[in-house]
Amino acid sequence: MTTPIKVFDLDFTLLKGDSSHLWCYFLVEKGLIADPQAFLAREDELMQRYNRGVSRVEDFIGFSSPAVAAIPFSQLEKLLDEYVETKLRPLKTVEGQALITECQEKGIPCVVISATASYIVKRAAAIFGVPAADVLAVDVAVKDDHLTTEIVGVPSFREGKITRLKMWLEQKGITDPEISFYTDSINDLPLCLMAKHPYAINASPALAAEAQAHGWEQEEWHCAGEAAQ
């Protein structure tokens, strides 16, 4: 007997925005970046590479972690909580929240999987009611109460998302999953091809073309402000 599993990308899927990108702007807004212009220019370059499907997750972690490495992680956590509440909560998609709530009421496991750092993703997933144990993201080492650039384990990026999801399924004792996967990004094509039911949500042009070619369902999800218009 198969076990239905709902797997969600975070940025531009569950959220109508990119949590890594917005975190960088939040740090600038808080006056924590010495050279905001250079910092945001480098961030924009990395995001463009990501959107073209040619980036490395190590490059972004190597860029973003040093920006806050001088801040004790215990203090950084308070900033993260503020960031999620003020910047990410308003970007929750109505459709994403409704689907997660419906699945949880039916006892269907929901997983959030993202190539963003887990210290952001776990907090973002929590506003949808998804516990940290069901969040698969890029784990970054904290040493002596300070964030490092060291990635712990397999980063959940491209084929790494498949590896991490298989590890999660094994941990849960699920041997015959029926996976529905929701994403916007061409970087998630490997997991789309693995999933039984891939959904292109707010799809990038590259993923929309793949969805068209494969006959995958495409949907537009909206945050509350958009839904009210």
For 79-127, write each residue's pLDDT tens digit.
999 999 999 999 999 999 999 999 999 999 999 999 999 999 999 999 9
Strand order in the sheet with 217-219: 146-152, 135-143, 110-117, 3-8, 177-183, 197-201, 217-219
Cβ atoms of 114 and 20 closer than 8 Å: no
pLDDT per residue of the chain (229 residues) written in tens, 0 to 9: 899 999 999 999 999 999 999 999 999 999 999 999 999 999 999 888 877 767 788 888 998 899 899 999 999 999 999 999 999 999 999 999 999 999 999 999 999 999 999 999 999 999 999 999 999 999 999 999 999 999 999 999 999 999 999 999 999 999 999 999 999 999 999 999 999 999 999 999 999 999 999 999 999 999 987 754 4
Looking at residue 208, its pLDDT comes to: 98
Which parts of 164-216 are beta strand (E)? 177-183, 197-201
Containing H/E element for 147?
Answer: strand 146-152
CA distances from 200 to 48, 90, 121, 163 (A): 20, 22, 20, 21
| Gap between the Cα atoms of 36 and 14, Å rounded | 28
The two beta strands, 135-143 and 146-152, are: antiparallel
The values of phi and psi at residue 179, to 5°, are -90, 125
Domains of the chain in start order, with CATH, are: 3-227 (3.40.50.1000)
Query: 219 pairs with which residues across the strands?
Result: 201
- What is this structure's pTM? 0.94
